Amino acid sequence: MLEMRPNCECCDKDLPPDSAEAMICTIECTYCAACASERLKGICPNCGGDLKPRPMRPARWLQKYPASTRRVHNPDCAA
Ligand SMILES: [Zn+2]
Ligand SMILES: [Zn+2]
């Protein structure tokens, strides 16, 4: 089950569970599409893995399996 973190780790932009902009790596470091492509060139600076679009979680699933509210923010995230 994905954590569905609520923000971009680089710029702290909000990334709700239905965001089409959220990008994640294999260990769920989470970034917005702009940071993922421009700042990070598609590679996660924490683990070196590639970044992929995060699947959206349908509303009825969110009731049962809520998205994470724990914000992770690392302003020095640039690769
Ligand atoms: Zn960002
Ligand atoms: Zn990572």
Residue 45: is its pLDDT beyond 60? yes
Q: Is the model's pLDDT at 11 over the cut of 70?
A: yes
What does the pLDDT read at residue 78? 74
pLDDT tens-digit series, residues 58-68: 999 999 999 99
Ligand (nearest to CA of 44): 2
> 76: burial class by Cβ within 10 Å (0-12, 13-18, 19+)?
exposed
d(CA 13, CA 59): 21
Q: Which ligand is nearest to the CA of 25?
A: 2
Return the percentage of the chain with pLDDT > 90, whole number. Answer: 94
Which ligand places an atom closest to the C-alpha of 28?
A: 2
| SS3 call for 46 | coil
How far is residue 79's CA from residue 14's CA, in Å, rounded to a whole number?
A: 21
Least confidently predicted of 1-5, 17-21, 74-78: 74-78
Sign of CA pseudo-dihedral 78, 29, 31, 49: positive
How far is the centre of ligand 1, averaged over its atoms, from the C-alpha of 58 (Å)? Answer: 23
pLDDT above 70 coverage of the chain, percent: 99
- Mean pLDDT across the stretch 50-75? 96
Give the single-character DSSP code of 58. Answer: -
